[in-house]
Structure 1
Amino acid sequence: MSTAELTPEQSVAWQAAQRLWGVRMHPPAVLPDAGRPSFSWFGFPPAITFDPALLAREGGAGHLVSVFAHELGHHVLAPSTRLDGLKIDYQMARTIAASDPGHVLDVREEAAHLANLWEDLVINERVVRAQRAAAPSAEPDLIALWRALSAPVLAQGPQGAEADPAWWVYLRAYERLWRLPAGTLCDPHEPHLFREAARRAAAEAEGQIAAAGAKVGNLDQEGARADLAQQLFAEADAVLLADTVRRFGADPVAGAAPCGMILAPYLVVSRRLREQRQRAALAGQPGQTGQPGQGAPAEGAGNVACAADPGAAPTAGELARVLADARLRERLIHPVDALAGEQADSATDGPDDGTGATAATRSSGQSFGIAETLELFAGADPDAVMAAWYEAEARPWVSPLQRRGEASAAPELPGPLELWETGEDLSDIDWPATLAGGTVVVPGVTTVRRTFLADEPSRAEVPVALDLYIDSSGSMMSPQQGSPAVLAGMILALSVLRGGGRVRTTSFSSAGQVAGTADFSRERVEIVKGLTTYFGGGTTFPLDLLAQRYLASRPRRGEERHLVVLTDTGYVSLLGHGQEQFAEVAARVRAHVADATMVIDGRVSDEERTDAAAVGYELIEVAGMEGAPAVCARLAAKIAGRSTR
C-alpha cells in the first residue's frame, strides 16, 4: 500500500508537534483508509504512520498537532526504544500471569494492549502539561481530541461503563490527571453493577464446574474462586492509576507493573462475563449483566488507544538486554497494598517484613517463569529466549572465576641513590642523576648510581577451563520448565566466562543422544545451547566421548581443566554401571583434571558418596531450583581455591 505526502496543513502540524517535544524526526507516513483499528501508530526503527480518513471519521481531523505530538511521545518518552517496549510488554505479561490463575486471557495479545494503554497515559499527561504551559488560558488541544473520541461511549451512559469497566477506569484516570469534572470523558457513576455481575458470573462458573465434577475444570474453578476474591472498586482504582502516572511518568518500565496490577484484573473478569453472556445466548437466556430488562451492552466500545507495530521478533542480544533489567524481577505489588505497607511502616515505625499480608488477594510474588517467557516471545528463537532467561536468573550469583597460577619474580623496585666509586662498572652510573648535581663530574666524588629493592613475587591469574556435562534424560526437569540443573550450569559457565576462561557444554541422555560444543569455547550462545538441549530419554553417560577427549589426546599445555557433571541418580552410569566396557574411564580421566564434581539433583546416600569418592569424584546435592545457586556459588569458590598453587 503506497503512502501519500504531507499536505501543507499537515506539515505545519508536524513542525508544531516537534517543537513541543524539542526533537527532530523524519515526517510521518500518510496512509489513507489503511484498514487499521487505530488512526495512528508507531514502530521501530523510529517511524510514525497515520490514517487521515479514519481520523476524520473519529472526529479528530482538527487536532493534528496533538495526534502527531502523541505519536512522537512514543519515541521520546514511552517506550522511547524498542528494548524498553519489550520490557514494558514483559512487565504487563507478569501482571496478567499474577491476575489470571485460570488462564482465560491471551497473554501476548493482552500484554501488548495493556502496554499501549500505559504508554499512552504517560505520554498524554506530558503533552497536556506542555500544552497548558504554552497556553494557560485555553483548553489543551489533546483534551479536546479526547472529548471527541470518548463521546460515543459517554453517550451510552451507565451501559457504556458496564460494557468495558477497564476503559471506564482508564478514562476516569484521565479526568483526575487533567483536573476535569466527572462526566467529561466517561459516565460520572462508576460501574457498580459490574462488580455484582462479576460475583454472579464467578459463582455460576464454580457451581457448574462443581456439578460436572470434571477434572478438566480444575483451572476454571481456581479462576472462578479468584474472581470471587477480586475486589474491584473502579473509582478507587482510577485514583490509583492517576497517581501511578504521576509517580512513574519518568520511568515507564517501572511504572508498567503497578499499572498492570490495577487494570489486568478488570480484563480477566470482563472475559469471564463475556463468556457467561455467550453461554446464556446459546441457551436462549436473556443477558444477565445489566439492569432488569436490559440486554448485554456493546463490547469494548470506544477503546480508541493508538497502536504499535510489533516489528520483528526480538534477537538473542535484545532478549539478553531486556531480561537483564532488574526492574523486571521485582515483586509485583498492587498499589493499594504498597500504600497500605507504607502506612503500616509509619504506624509501627519498623521495617516492612515483605509479606504483603495486608491484602494478599491483590498482590503477588509469583514469578514469570521460563514457560511463560517462551509463550510471550513465541516468535523469537527458543534457544535465545532460554539463554536470556537462565542468564538473568543466574546473574545475581555470578562472580569472575579464575585460578592463581605459578608465582613469577616481580621486577625490582627503584631504590635510593648511592655513590659510584672508581673501579666499579661504568654502566652502573646514573648519568641523569649525576649531572643533576652539577656539570663538573669527578669520578668517585660526584658520580652516583641507582639502587634497587626486591619485591614480593606475583601470581598470575589464569582463566579456568570448565568441562560441563548436563543430564537431559526424562528424569531431569526440562529447560522449558525451569531446570535447577540448567540454572546451576549457567551460574558456573557465566562465572568462568566472566573470569576470562573457556567452557565446553555437553548434554547427554540415552546412548547416542549427545549434543553440545565440540571444544572449549567463549561463544555464549553455543555454550547455552548445549546446556538447554533436552532429549528426555534414558541415562547413559557418554564415557566413550569422555575417553576420546581425555585419554586419546593431550590437553593444551599449561591448561588446568575442571570436570563438572549435573545429573540425578543416573550418575551411576558415569562410574560404568551398564557400560562395563568403559568401567575404568572415569577413574583414568580423573588423573587428567584438577577437579571432578557431580552436582546431584536429589538425595545421595553415604554408600554412594563413598563409591564416587573411591574414584576421585565429589558428590554435591542440590534440592531443586532454590538450592542450585548457593551450591554452584560454593562450587565455583572451591574450584578457584583448589587451583591456588
Structure 2
Amino acid sequence: MKPDVSEQLLTRWQEAWPRALAVWSQFTRLSDPRLCASTVAAAEEGLTTSFAMIRLADQSVVIDLEAVQKLGLDDYAMEILAHEVGHHVLAPANASDHFRLLATIRKGLPTLEKHAAMVANLYTDLLINDRLQRQGRLQMHTIYQKLLAGQPAMTKAGVWALYMRIYERLWTLESGSLGVAVDDPLFESHSWLGARLVRVYANDWLTGGARFAALLLPYLHEAAEEEAAALERLHDTREAGLDCEPCGLVDYGDGELQDPIHPVEDPLINDNLDKSPEVPTPQTTDANTPGRGQRREPFEYGEILRAAGLKLSDADMAVRYYREAALPYLIPFPKSKVPQRQEAQMEGLEAWELGDALDDIDWLASLSLSPHAVPGVTTMKRHYGLAPGNEPASKPIDLDIYVDSSGSMPNPQQRISYMALAGAVICLSALRGGSRVQATLWSGKNQFTSTPGFVRDEEAILRILTGHLGGATAFPIHKLRETFSTRAEHERDCHILHISDDGITTMFDDDERGNSGWEVAAQALQRGRAGGTMALNLWQDWQTSNTKVSQDLRRARIEQGWQIHMVNDLPQLLDFAREFSRRHYGDRKQERLDASRDGPFPRAFAKHGARP
C-alpha cells in the first residue's frame, strides 16, 4: 500500500524537531511530536480541522503531514514545529493560563463570546510568530503566503484582513504582501493599534487579551465564510485544554470585572493619550448579581471549559465547579469515640509466598533462615495481631444528605446555589474524614434519585448535589424511613443533613403508609445517633413569623433537636460551616450556653463531640 507521505518527508520533520526546540532555548524539553502520516491517523489523535495542534495535558504536538503536503508547507518544518513549541513555552504555556486567557477574551467579546477560542488562538499566534520572525529569524510570513496561494482574493476589511495587516506592520512588509489589501483609514488605524498591542503586551499578554478582543469585536460581526475557513486552518489550540483539570477558575481574577479597554484608549498603546492617567476606581459589584460578583456563575465556568476544548456535560461541569468552590471551606467532620484504640503487635513469623506484597518480606529473618533467598520457600514475613492500646480511638460518622431540587430551588448547573455549595462543603469534609455518604436528590412525588447506599464516591455524591429536577415539592419520606428503619446498633452513627427551602416541611407530612412524618423524622434521629441539620434558603424573619412553615421549623428545632441554618449567600454559608464544626468540636461549656439560647441539642452531639 502506498504511504500517505514519503519516508523522506517524515525523516526531515523528525530531524527538525531538536532545532525547533532550540529556537526557544537549549534547555527546552518536550516529548517527540506525533507526526501523523495520514489525515486519518491525525484524526485519531484528535486533529481534525487544522494541520497542527497542541495538547496541554500531556504537553504534546500533533502534525498532520498529509495536510501539510497538500498545503505546500513541506519545507517549513522548522517554522511550524517552532510555532507549536511556542504555545507550550510562551502562550498559553499551561492549562491554567489558557483558561484565564479565555476568560479574559470573553470579557472583550460581549454577545460574541462563542468566538473566544478562535480570538485567543489568533492572539497567541501573533505573540509567538512575531518573536520567531524577529528573534528566531524564521520565515513565518511565507507560511501565510503559501496558505493564501490559490485561494480567492479577500479584499474585505474583515478579521483575516486585519490579522494579516497586523503582521505586515509588525514585520515592516508592504501593504498587501500577505495577500490582502484594504484601502480604509479606519482599518489602517486598527491594524496599527493591533501591532502596538502585540509589542507592548508581549511580556504581559494576559492583560492584553481583552484589549485584543475589543479590537476584533466589530470585525467579528461580519466574518465571511472564506475568512472562517482560513482561520479554521490556523486553529491549533482548539482542544488544547482537553483532559486538563481547571484550577483557580471559579473566582474572578484581578481586574477581570472591570470593563475591557479598547487599545485606542490605552495610553501605553496610543501615543496621543496621556501616559500617566489617573488609576480608575474598580467598579463595586454585588456578589449576588448574576455574573457580576467575585465568583463566576456555573454556566460561565462551563462555557470557558468548553472553549478550552473540554468535552463535558453540564452535570460534569457542575461537579468540577462545586468541588473547587468547596475546597477552601472544608471543616473537621465529627467522629464518634470508641473505648480503646487497637494497636498492631508482632506475634511471630510466617512464610512469605508468591502473590504477597513484596514490602512484607522480613529480609533479616529470611536471610537468617537461609543465605539464599528462594521466594515462597525461605522468605518470611511478620505476623501481626491487634491488642488494646492506651489511647481512645475514634470512628467516622456517616452522612445522610437530602437535596431539594424542586422548581423553587435554583438550578446549581446554571446559577450558583449556596445551599448546594453548603452540601458540597459538608460532603467533601465527611469524605476527607473517612465517612461514607448517602446523597438523595428529590423533587415531586416519586421524583428522586440517590447514590446506591452509603458510598465514598466523590463524583457520584457531587453529581447528586448539583443535579436539578425542577418539579413539585414532596419530600421522599419513605427513603428516610427505609434508611433508618433497619439500621443496626453496631453500624456507624449517622448525621442527617437537609438542603432545601420552606419545602422541607413536607418531610412532616404523612407517608404512603399513613405514618406521621414527625414520627419518621424522630425515629431517624434516634437511630442515626448523630443529630440532624437543615441548611435552608429562608426569608430573614422566619423565626418570628407566624406562618405554618415557621411554626413547623420551630417545632422541629425545639422538640426533635434539628439544627436550622439560613444559607442564602457566601457569608451565611461560612457561618453555617463554622457553626457545624463548632457544635461537634467546640467547647462543651459553650455548647451548653448555646443550647440554653437556641433550644435543646440532640444528646448525640454531646455524646459524640470530640476535640480535634
Structure 1 and Structure 2 fold alike (TM over 0.5): yes
Q: Helix, strand or coil: the match of 1:466?
A: strand
Match of 1:563 in 2: 496
Residues in 1 aligned to 2:48 and 2:231: alpha-carbon distance in whole angstroms: 14
Match of 1:572 in 2: 505
Match of 1:163 in 2: 158
Deviates more, 1:563-572 or 1:71-80: 71-80
Asked whether the 8 Å contact 2:126–2:198 carries over to 1, the reply is no
Deviation of the 1:464 alpha carbon: 3.7
Residues in 2 aligned to 1:326 and 1:91: alpha-carbon distance in whole angstroms: 11
Q: Are residue 519 (structure 1) and residue 453 (structure 2) matched?
A: yes
Deviation of the 1:568 alpha carbon: 0.9
Q: 1:17 aligns with which of 20, 28, 42?
A: 20
Percent of residue pairs bearing the same amino acid type: 22
Deviates more, 1:40-49 or 1:533-542: 40-49
Match of 1:283 in 2: none
Structure 1's 585 and 486: CA in aligned 2 closer, same or farther, altered over 3 A? same
Residues in 2 aligned to 1:539 and 1:91: alpha-carbon distance in whole angstroms: 40
Asked whether the 8 Å contact 2:51–2:233 carries over to 1, the reply is no
Q: Number of residues paired by the alignment?
A: 500
Structure 1's 53 and 147: CA in aligned 2 closer, same or farther, altered over 3 A? closer
Structure 1's 129 and 100: CA in aligned 2 closer, same or farther, altered over 3 A? closer
Residues in 1 aligned to 2:240 and 2:79: alpha-carbon distance in whole angstroms: 28
- What is the CA deviation profile of residues 233-287 of structure 1, one whole-angstrom value per residue up to 9, with x for unaligned ones? 6644543343333235xxxxxx3xx34412333454224346xxxxxxxxxxxxx
Q: Helix, strand or coil: the match of 1:521?
A: coil
Q: Are residue 116 (structure 1) and residue 121 (structure 2) matched?
A: yes
Deviation of the 1:522 alpha carbon: 1.6
Residues in 1 aligned to 2:187 and 2:240: alpha-carbon distance in whole angstroms: 38
Match of 2:139 in 1: 142
Residues in 1 aligned to 2:164 and 2:583: alpha-carbon distance in whole angstroms: 55
Residues in 1 aligned to 2:254 and 2:138: alpha-carbon distance in whole angstroms: 38
Residues in 2 aligned to 1:506 and 1:326: alpha-carbon distance in whole angstroms: 25
Match of 2:246 in 1: 322
Q: Are residue 498 (structure 1) and residue 498 (structure 2) matched?
A: no
Q: 1:73 aligns with which of 81, 86, 90?
A: 86
Alignment of 1:358-507 (within 5 A): 368-375=296-303, 377=306, 379-403=311-335, 405=337, 460=393, 462-482=395-415, 483-507=417-441
Residues in 1 aligned to 2:39 and 2:451: alpha-carbon distance in whole angstroms: 53
Deviation of the 1:142 alpha carbon: 3.3
Structure 1's 167 and 368: CA in aligned 2 closer, same or farther, altered over 3 A? farther
TM-score (norm 1): 0.63
Deviation of the 1:567 alpha carbon: 0.7
Deviation of the 1:407 alpha carbon: 7.9
Asked whether the 8 Å contact 2:20–2:82 carries over to 1, the reply is yes
Asked whether the 8 Å contact 1:467–1:503 carries over to 2, the reply is yes
Query: What letter corresponds to residue 29 of structure 1 in structure 2?
Result: C
Asked whether the 8 Å contact 1:387–1:528 carries over to 2, the reply is yes
Residues in 2 aligned to 1:626 and 1:149: alpha-carbon distance in whole angstroms: 58
Residues in 2 aligned to 1:20 and 1:242: alpha-carbon distance in whole angstroms: 20
Asked whether the 8 Å contact 2:166–2:195 carries over to 1, the reply is yes
Q: Are residue 612 (structure 1) and residue 556 (structure 2) matched?
A: yes
Give the number of the structure whose residues are more often helix, by fraction: 1
Residues in 2 aligned to 1:244 and 1:555: alpha-carbon distance in whole angstroms: 67
Q: 1:245 aligns with which of 190, 199, 202?
A: 202
Deviation of the 1:532 alpha carbon: 2.4
Query: What letter corresponds to residue 591 of structure 1 in structure 2?
Result: Q
Asked whether the 8 Å contact 2:336–2:397 carries over to 1, the reply is no
Deviation of the 1:461 alpha carbon: 5.6
What's the C-alpha RMSD, in Å, of the aligned pairs? 4.8
Structure 1's 556 and 539: CA in aligned 2 closer, same or farther, altered over 3 A? farther
Match of 1:628 in 2: 573
Deviates more, 1:19-28 or 1:186-195: 186-195
- What is the CA deviation profile of residues 431-477 of structure 1, one whole-angstrom value per residue up to 9, with x for unaligned ones? xxxxxxxxxxxxxxxxxxxxxxxxxx966565342221101112111
Q: Which runs of 5+ in 2 are unaligned?
A: 286-290, 344-389, 545-549, 587-604
Q: 2:218 aligns with which of 269, 272, 276?
A: 269
TM-score (norm 2): 0.66
Alignment of 1:180-259 (within 5 A): 180=172, 193=186, 235-236=192-193, 238-248=195-205, 255=206, 258-259=207-208
Residues in 1 aligned to 2:147 and 2:239: alpha-carbon distance in whole angstroms: 29
Asked whether the 8 Å contact 1:598–1:619 carries over to 2, the reply is yes
Query: What letter corresponds to residue 638 of structure 1 in structure 2?
Result: R
Q: Helix, strand or coil: the match of 1:619?
A: strand
Deviation of the 1:621 alpha carbon: 1.1
Match of 2:348 in 1: none
Match of 1:447 in 2: none
Deviation of the 1:629 alpha carbon: 4.6
Asked whether the 8 Å contact 1:567–1:599 carries over to 2, the reply is yes
Bigger Rg over Cα: 1
Query: What letter corresponds to residue 166 of structure 2 in structure 1?
Result: R
Q: Helix, strand or coil: the match of 2:203?
A: helix
Residues in 2 aligned to 1:143 and 1:629: alpha-carbon distance in whole angstroms: 54
Residues in 1 aligned to 2:183 and 2:476: alpha-carbon distance in whole angstroms: 66
Match of 2:166 in 1: 172
Residues in 2 aligned to 1:190 and 1:556: alpha-carbon distance in whole angstroms: 84
Query: What letter corresponds to residue 524 of structure 1 in structure 2?
Result: E
